[in-house]
Amino acid sequence: MSDQAWVCGAGGPLHGEVTVPGDKSISHRAIMLAALADGVCRIDGFLESADARATEAMFRQMGVHIEAPAPGARIVHGVGLHGLRPPSGPLDCGNSGTAMRLLAGLLAGQRFHSRLIGDASLSRRPMQRVTAPLARMGARIETANGCPPLEIHGNNALQSIDYAGEVSSAQVKSAILLAGLYAEGTTRVTEPEPTRDYTERMLAAFGWPVEFSPGRAALAGGHRLQATDVVVPADFSSAAFFLVAATLVPGSRLLLRQVGMNPRRTGLLQVLRAMGARIEEHAAGEQGGEPVADLLVRHAPLVGVDVPQEIVADMIDEFPALFVAAACATGTTVVRGAAELRVKESDRITVMAQGLRELGVHVEETPDGAVIHGGSLRGGRVHSRADHRVAMAFAVAAQVSKGPVRVEDVGNVATSFPGFARLAQEVGFRLG
């Protein structure tokens, strides 16, 4: 996979309609909660990506019967909160930090031992942010110097905690809440900045009493999850690449159908609009309890902005796309308070800065962000460092570059957006 590359070039305007695949965060959680529920759940809109399928495969390994009657559909035969079976070997999370961190919490509450492993990128990512609070709850988890693999010793009685962490992370919050399902007493999590609340919303949909508001969540152990059907909306993070591309390419007009619009995910919209983007929302509605809307985007010239720090968490996965928008804007864009980008699938500050410099952009790195001086892009060869979102961001950049751009190591796009290249070509991207 790692030697796959795209050769991209500037094309004509982007036109047409796009429906992006299902939300990755929600797909993971749907499998997890459906597996632990009493009864049978149907999931529609499930993301057929490597990350979401890794979660599915791990639950199959723990004895959960999951049918796949059609692409994007799953029927999960829940085994109840205490019905998982010990896996016969290690559980492989692949590239997925969400799978590993959420499962660390969930598996800490089981009566059996388990071992979570991941690929080279995941094996470098910090896990102490979940193992430390879980240890306070009574879990016993060994790491390799704070990184995967995780050795989870089951059979520990968990106690609730009140947790106020320093990092705003939905993965950390979710790990603690999932362990809290098995803990005695009320588990509370407070975040510095609010993060996506899918775990809280979905637990509530499965009938578990949860109190939550932006930045806070609390639940007590001792209840049960009741099977309910889940409809997964389209992933805003996948839509983001098309929003930026159509904004940048002159003459473009693209309609993105029924995109998930949870306010904890749509920070990029605010920033792009502040930069001058023309993005309209139509046909607003609800899908699976989540707000959705059609997004109509037309080309518009952009100007640089200071990204407000308080919305960094609401666009944490969209910075590769934003860096490209900033590189094509008039003036300077400043990103601060985003040190988390350094511990994603790659160090996204360094990797984006390196690639943009290769394309002739002046970018200054800071410990927790970057200063991007907008201008025009030339062709070149950029490396995604096996990071799916970096690869897609550079495919977008190439659509407005003055020469061909070769993007190396794009195989991991399949972790979040299988079919990206085909969909992108259909609306006018030059990419092959």
Q: What amino acid positions are annotated as catalytic residues?
A: 317
At its nearest, how many Å lie between ligand S3P and the CB of residue 74? 18
Tokens of 432: 């092959």
At its nearest, how many Å lie between ligand S3P and the CB of residue 390? 13
- Report which DSSP code applies to 46: -
At its nearest, how many Å lie between ligand S3P and the CB of residue 48? 17
- Half-sphere exposure in the Cβ direction for 105 (13 Å, CA): 29
- Report which DSSP code applies to 412: G
Nearer to ligand S3P by C-beta: 151 or 340?
340
- Report which DSSP code applies to 308: P
Considering CB under 6 A, how many residues would be counted as binding ligand S3P?
A: 11
List the one residue from 184, 281, 340, 358 that touches ligand S3P (CB under 6 A): 340
List the one residue from 261, 316, 359, 361 that touches ligand S3P (CB under 6 A): 316
Determine if 317 is a binding residue for ligand S3P (CB under 6 A): yes
Do residues 215 and 193 make contact, with C-beta atoms less than 8 angstroms apart? Answer: yes
What value does the CA radius of gyration of the chain take, rounded to a whole number of Å? Answer: 21
Residue closest to ligand S3P, measured at CB: 25
Nearer to ligand S3P by C-beta: 195 or 346?
195
- Report which DSSP code applies to 318: G
Separation in Å, CA 290 to CA 23, 216, 265: 11, 19, 11
Do residues 69 and 75 make contact, with C-beta atoms less than 8 angstroms apart? Answer: yes
Do residues 256 and 225 make contact, with C-beta atoms less than 8 angstroms apart? Answer: no
Please name the helix (run of DSSP H) or strand (run of DSSP E) that holds residue 41, with its range, or none: strand 40-44
Nearer to ligand S3P by C-beta: 92 or 317?
317
At its nearest, how many Å lie between ligand S3P and the CB of residue 363? 21
At its nearest, how many Å lie between ligand S3P and the CB of residue 175? 9
Determine if 55 is a binding residue for ligand S3P (CB under 6 A): no
Beta strands in 318-383 (DSSP E): 332-335, 362-366, 369-373, 380-383
* Buried residues in 164-193 as b, exposed as e (16+ CB within 10 A): ebebbbbbbbbbbbbbbbbbeeebbbebeb
At its nearest, how many Å lie between ligand S3P and the CB of residue 191? 9
Determine if 247 is a binding residue for ligand S3P (CB under 6 A): no
Nearer to ligand S3P by C-beta: 171 or 252?
171
At its nearest, how many Å lie between ligand S3P and the CB of residue 84? 21
- CA-CA distance, 157 to 140, in Å (whole number)? 10
List the one residue from 5, 10, 11, 25 that touches ligand S3P (CB under 6 A): 25
Separation in Å, CA 379 to CA 104, 361, 394, 422: 43, 11, 11, 22
Nearer to ligand S3P by C-beta: 169 or 333?
169
Taking CB under 6 A as the criterion, which residues in 158-217 touch ligand S3P? 169-171, 174, 195-196
List the one residue from 61, 98, 247, 252 that touches ligand S3P (CB under 6 A): 98
Please name the helix (run of DSSP H) or strand (run of DSSP E) that holds residue 295, with its range, or none: strand 290-298
Nearer to ligand S3P by C-beta: 156 or 238?
238
Chain contacts with ligand S3P (rule: CB under 6 A):
25, 98, 169-171, 174, 195-196, 316-317, 340
